[in-house]
């Protein structure tokens, strides 16, 4: 595996998990109503 690609993948998964945390904290209903 390319180290740079591996770094991007780990960064992407980190972003995704933080997004999930934010969504769980705020609540899916509020996000859906905001859009």
As a whole number of angstroms, the distance between CA 8 and CA 31 comes to 27
More confident residue, 19 or 34: 19
> What phi and psi, each to the nearest 5 degrees, are found at residue 32?
-65, -40
What pLDDT, in 10s, does the model give residues 1-30? 799 999 999 999 999 999 999 888 888 787
CA-to-CA distance for 2 and 28, rounded, in angstroms? 36
What does DSSP assign to residue 26?
H
pTM beyond 0.85: the answer is no
What is the structure's pLDDT at 10?
96
Q: Is the model's pLDDT at 32 over the cut of 80?
A: no
pLDDT value at 35 more than 70: no
């Amino acid at each position: 595996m390319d180290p740079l690609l591996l770094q991007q993948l780990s960064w992407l998964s980190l972003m995704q998990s933080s997004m999930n945390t934010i969504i769980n904290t705020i609540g899916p209903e509020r996000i859906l109503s905001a859009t």
